[in-house]
């Protein structure tokens, strides 16, 4: 539609500014306005050389901007600016509520493009030097989260797969472990927990499923939990 700008849904990656894609960084440098998530770091925002910065973060358990308002802001920005970036942690297409924003923009006749980012599960596996798949051990991976839409059950069924990766798993990880134990998973199943992935305060914890069932200490940033036989330490791994 004439007179409207274009919106880019850009994946910021797991946190470190130098893990954003080249295309994503170029768009940040060109953007007139950037609507960014709570998990986007100041170093990443420093790449927005000329943009107006608009925080629209959503953090579990904290006051945040309602998704419907974010959708309205995106449409309004596209009517006032030529190049709009919606900067999301990780990848927009995985637990990024991209569907809701795409629907709102498309309904308003606004051109939109998605620029992928490194999703946190892949970055966490790299940080821990722990592949999520392993020949002869694990050939399937499932990403899941306990966060649900208002009309969905609070505890959806866990996927049946070799390696499980729970996003936003800090408070919910113990319940996940209890359910897996009840389903017959062995108590010493390897678990790797990564907090603040790719950031200077990154923390990596290794434990067993039975340890996880007792709960995690309160963290100071986003937590991702990886579970499965593929997470076992290698013989000479540090």
> What is the average pLDDT across 32-56?
96
Q: Is 6-115 assigned to CATH 3.40.1010.10?
A: yes
Beta-strand pair 203-208/190-195: antiparallel
Residue-level pLDDT at 206: 97
> What is the average pLDDT across 126-154?
83
Could you tell me if 154 and 148 are in contact, meaning their C-beta atoms sit under 8 angstroms apart? yes
> What is the average pLDDT across 223-233?
97
Tell me the CATH number of domain 120-231, given options 3.40.50.720, 1.10.287.950, 1.20.1250.20, 3.30.950.10.
3.30.950.10
Report the C-alpha gap between 103 and 223 in whole angstroms.
29
230: tokens are: 């593929």
Report the C-alpha gap between 34 and 115 in whole angstroms.
14
Could you tell me if 123 and 204 are in contact, meaning their C-beta atoms sit under 8 angstroms apart? no
User: Out of 6, 18, 37, 162, which one is annotated catalytic?
Assistant: 37
Name the pLDDT band for 238 (thresholds 50, 70, 90): confident
**Residue 22: which residues within 8 A CB-CB, separation 6 or more?**
none
> What is the average pLDDT across 74-102?
97
Report the C-alpha gap between 9 and 35 in whole angstroms.
10
Residue 201 is among the residues annotated as catalytic for this protein = no
Residue-level pLDDT at 150: 44
pTM of the entire predicted model: 0.90
Q: What is the pLDDT of residues 183-214, one digit of tens each?
A: 999 999 999 999 999 999 999 999 999 999 99
User: Out of 58, 134, 151, 154, which one is annotated catalytic?
Assistant: 58
Distance of CA 225 to the CA centre of its chain: 12
**Residue 103: which residues within 8 A CB-CB, separation 6 or more?**
none
Residue-level pLDDT at 155: 55
Residue 18 is among the residues annotated as catalytic for this protein = no
Per domain, the residue ranges of the chain are: 6-115, 120-231
């Amino acid at each position: 539609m004439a007179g409207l700008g274009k919106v880019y849904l850009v994946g910021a990656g797991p946190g470190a500014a130098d893990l954003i894609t080249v295309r994503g960084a170029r768009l940040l440098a060109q953007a007139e306005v950037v609507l960014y998530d709570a998990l986007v770091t100041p170093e990443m925002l420093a790449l927005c050389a000329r943009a107006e910065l608009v925080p629209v973060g959503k953090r579990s358990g904290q006051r945040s901007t309602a998704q419907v308002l974010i959708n309205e802001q995106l449409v309004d920005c596209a009517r006032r600016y030529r190049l709009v970036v919606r900067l999301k942690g990780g990848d927009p297409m995985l637990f990024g509520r991209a569907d809701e924003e795409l629907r709102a923009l498309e309904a308003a006749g606004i051109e939109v493009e998605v620029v992928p980012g490194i999703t946190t599960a892949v970055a966490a596996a790299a940080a821990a030097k722990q592949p999520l798949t392993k020949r002869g051990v694990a050939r399937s991976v499932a990403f899941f989260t306990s966060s649900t839409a208002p009309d969905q059950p609070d505890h959806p069924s866990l996927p049946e797969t070799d390696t499980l990766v729970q996003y936003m798993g800090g408070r919910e990880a113990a319940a996940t472990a209890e359910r897996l134990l009840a389903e017959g998973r062995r108590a010493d199943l390897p678990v790797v927990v990564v907090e603040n992935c790719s950031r200077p305060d990154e923390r990596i914890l290794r434990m067993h499923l039975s340890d996880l069932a007792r709960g995690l200490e309160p963290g100071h940033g986003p937590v991702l939990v990886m579970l499965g036989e593929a997470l076992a330490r290698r013989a000479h791994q540090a």
